[in-house]
A = this chain, B = another copy of it.
Amino acid sequence: MMSGRRERSGAATRYAAGLRCISCREEYEVTDAGTCKECYEEASETEEELKREIEDLKAKVAFLKLASPIEHHRSYFTDLILLASDDHCLALRAHKAVLISRSPVFRAMLENEMEESRSGTIKISDVSYEVLRSFVRYLYTAEVSLDEQLACELLILAEKYQVKHLKAFCEKFMTSKVTNDNAVSSFAFAHRHNAKQLLEASLSLITDNMDTLTERDEYKELVETDPRLVVEIYEAYLAKQINTASSRDAAS
């Protein structure tokens, strides 16, 4: 059974102890030792348990998802109409019960006998029909296929209607897409919409690349439109420099 044996050469071979990894089945040296057998077995059991838990949770998600009236082009006993600002002819049907479950803002609108509750119609301003569709679909299914533009627009809607889960989902997506090119605009966006994770990620990237900052168009624009944010960038940069200097002193 030597076929899987890892080839060793030179100095390393001297320490070979004939140890064989239970996981990858290859031999390794004392210096490459990982766990004892007991911990390996415990870890394997833990992994199996975690995987079972994931399967259970996935089944629960599938059970709890609601058939969205948008997806299926059926009325499904809807009792509410949503209208986007760009097209008053295309109405989206929905259920009051679902909307109040997902959003405290819709709850307040619909439970307090406001205009929306009486008319059975809610107008959602500053949003296109397509974005509103994605929004409503998410309220029913917790599913959406994001691109950067949609994430941005849905985050704004989610913030407005206090749909925390969707806001966090969009923010996570946007944070994963922060680059040097969009860091300044992401930072400004995060500021406007209280997106802490996105704010930290973009600010960190900006202060890591200060040498090119002032040449960028989005920087120049920000100086014009919101100089206080530019001040924040410089303050963060300064704090980072002081921090780095003091930890360098401590090390030397």
Contacts and interface: CB of A to CB of B under 8 A. Distances in A.
Interface of A: 17-24, 26, 28, 30, 32-41, 43, 46-47, 50-51, 53-54, 57-67, 76-79, 95-98, 100-102, 110, 142, 165, 168
Given A65-B101, A66-B66, 4 more contacts: A17-B30, A34-B39, A60-B142, A77-B95
A43 B36 contact: no
B61 A61 contact: yes
A37 B47 contact: no
20 contacts: A17-B30, A19-B36, A21-B36, A22-B34, A23-B35, A23-B36, A32-B37, A33-B33, A34-B39, A34-B41, A35-B35, A50-B50, A50-B51, A63-B165, A64-B65, A64-B142, A76-B97, A77-B79, A77-B97, A77-B110
Complex copy number for this chain: 2
B100 A67 contact: yes
A69 to B, nearest CB: 8
